[in-house]
Structure 1
Amino acid sequence: MILVTGASGHLGRLVIEHLIKRGTPAEQIVAAVRTPEKVRDLAEQGVIVRKAGYENIDTLNAAMADVKRVVLVSSSEVGQRTAQHKNVIQAAKSASVELLAYTSILDADHSSLQLAAEHVETEQALAASSVPYVLLRNGWYSENYTENINTALEHGAVLGSAGQGKYATATRSNYAEAAAVVINAENQAGKVYELAGDQAFTLEQYAQTVSDISGKPVVYQDLPEAEYVKVLVDAGVPEGFATVLADADAGAAKGGLFNDSQTLSALIGHPTTPIEDSIKAAL
């Protein structure tokens, strides 16, 4: 059986959907979630639902019963992720799983992004364990921008601190499909996949594309990193996370979120979703 953590979240749910689409029987998939009620639709399809939280090793140990492979979808709780991921790794070790796929961040081992720190610590924990693992180093999600498209249209601007830095984004579904492919493949232990979209864009180009497709004027306003943090905080983003977001933009300005290897599209067997399509879907 294959266990997917965070199965009620955006990425985890999509991993399960792609596993089923690619032929994995629903009854061989375990959805590990804190709140089983959130995945009733998966249970109705035959997916096994087990209550398990990243922070609770006992529930994770129970959820791993009869599991052979694990997709560890990184926790969304920045600042707590390393400890939470270590719990999953320990449970997987106790269950003697044959492969664990971890959704890390692009170029984690030499990334300057603050967000990379906990991913690096998790990768180090995996390396120190006896669990066979494969790293799925995901780039930026297109949804990081398209989910906020209404705000851009309302204010006529996309704000950031990325300068002319390029983002090679792909959709969550693209990354989820890659996870579904890898977790079912043979001879994956020890592999590292740097995953990103086929096409890259600057935030200036993104704003122009939003404008072209929507028919409404939208421009990119580049801000100093500290000023961007202040704008985010004023908009209601917690200061710690605002700092992380602005830091990601600063990292993108230095090439930290760009990759042109097309490893992702090669894995899933088709081109990644262009940002234009994501914008149209959001609109």
Structure 2
Amino acid sequence: MKILVTGATGHLGSLVLDKLLETVPATELAVSVRDVSKAAHLQAKGVDVRQGNFDQPETLREALRGISRMLLISTAGEHRQAQHQAAVDAAREAGVQFVAYTSIVNAQASKAALADDHRATEAYIRESGMSYVFLRNNWYVENEQGGIQAVLQGMPWVHATGAAQVGWAAREDYAHAAAAVLTQDGHANKIYELAGPLRTTAELAALVGEVLGVEARVLEVDDEAYAQGLRAAGLPEFLVAVFTDMQKAIREGALATASDDLERLLGRPPQPLDHAIRAMAQP
């Protein structure tokens, strides 16, 4: 059995590879990356490094040759649904038997615009005939880098999420859950809602203040003020729309899904967020 991870040089993919290498021989692992030079460190460990470009389907078919299990890490950008479908088509044609896909919490019912591509990709994978597992990740605490840096600079943590709850967990825990389903049996055609303990933004900010020993003020604003702040920071309009819509979706409960699936896959409780918070506080 050979396992392949897409996006293996990214934040999540690299953590998945680190965990897999603890128990799986490097010769049984492969990665598909756009730029193979960025995966030289994996090649040096004996991992099979393959060039695969989501915008060039022919490269994906070659990259997936001889692969049994695949982790499809969702891409970013405006064309990811087409990219995901190209990867699924290539996997089916290459004879991949099992696809694990990193989706979003409550994908089928979520009203967040961010969920649209995930919902479509889940449906496409189901229709492919391959076995699958959907890892519906809640929110990475690392997504809150901006708020944490604001607090460290004595500014308020600006948000538009109201008193809604989010199941933040460390990216490392989501990665370890992905490694578990790739190396264990019994996960075929399962859906896992992965989340840490539910907290509000104000509660997370208070935890940040406690961990870092600083005052953590929060400032709740409306969607328009939040969007204006993103524009002032220089974000392109596409991302302004995505991030502002996500604040609204969170406010309306899109990420307030309690579940012990992450703990069950990890075989332990999700790690406290202290370590990730300290790491994000580094310059």
TM-score bin (small chain): over 0.9
Matched, 1:232 2:230: yes
Q: How does 1:265-280 map to 2 (within 5 A)?
A: 265-280=263-278
Amino acid aligned to 1:8: T
Distance 1:280 1:52 in 2: 34
Amino acid aligned to 1:174: D
Aligned residue number for residue 17 of structure 1: 18
Check the 8 A contact 1:160/1:246 in 2, yes or no: no
Aligned residue number for residue 194 of structure 1: 193
Change (3 A) 1:220 1:148: closer
Per the TM alignment, residue 131 of structure 1 is displaced from its structure 2 partner at its CA by 1.8
Aligned residue number for residue 3 of structure 1: 4
Q: How does 1:48-67 map to 2 (within 5 A)?
A: 48-67=48-67
Matched, 1:41 2:38: no
Check the 8 A contact 1:89/1:131 in 2, yes or no: no
Q: How does 1:239-278 map to 2 (within 5 A)?
A: 239-278=237-276
Amino acid aligned to 1:211: G
Note the residue ranges of structure 2 that are not aligned, 5 or more in a row.
Answer: none
> What secondary structure sits across from 1:113 in the alignment?
coil
Note the residue ranges of structure 1 that are not aligned, 5 or more in a row.
Answer: none
- How many residue pairs align between the two structures? 280
Q: CA RMSD in A?
A: 1.4
The percentage of aligned residue pairs carrying the same residue is: 35
Aligned residue number for residue 139 of structure 2: 140
Aligned residue number for residue 96 of structure 1: 95
Check the 8 A contact 1:147/1:282 in 2, yes or no: no
Check the 8 A contact 2:147/2:157 in 1, yes or no: no
Amino acid aligned to 2:19: H
Distance 1:196 1:147 in 2: 21
Distance 1:277 1:140 in 2: 16
Amino acid aligned to 1:151: A
Distance 1:150 1:13 in 2: 24
Q: How does 1:103-182 map to 2 (within 5 A)?
A: 103-146=102-145, 149-182=148-181
> What secondary structure sits across from 1:193 in the alignment?
strand
Amino acid aligned to 1:63: A
Check the 8 A contact 2:151/2:215 in 1, yes or no: no
1:74-103 per-position Cα deviation (integer Å, ceiling 9, x unaligned): 0022x2111000111011101111100000
Per the TM alignment, residue 241 of structure 1 is displaced from its structure 2 partner at its CA by 1.1
Per the TM alignment, residue 212 of structure 1 is displaced from its structure 2 partner at its CA by 2.7
Per the TM alignment, residue 150 of structure 1 is displaced from its structure 2 partner at its CA by 2.2
> What secondary structure sits across from 1:108 in the alignment?
coil
Distance 2:142 2:178 in 1: 18
Check the 8 A contact 1:156/1:217 in 2, yes or no: no
TM-score with structure 1 setting the length: 0.95
Distance 1:134 1:35 in 2: 27
> What secondary structure sits across from 2:173 in the alignment?
helix
> What secondary structure sits across from 1:86 in the alignment?
helix
Deviates further, 57-66 or 178-187? 178-187
> What secondary structure sits across from 1:110 in the alignment?
coil
TM-score with structure 2 setting the length: 0.95
Aligned residue number for residue 29 of structure 2: 29
Aligned residue number for residue 223 of structure 1: 221
Structure 1 stretches of 4+ moved >6 Å = none
Distance 2:133 2:17 in 1: 18
Distance 2:56 2:27 in 1: 24
Distance 1:242 1:41 in 2: 35
1:115-138 per-position Cα deviation (integer Å, ceiling 9, x unaligned): 000001111111221222111111
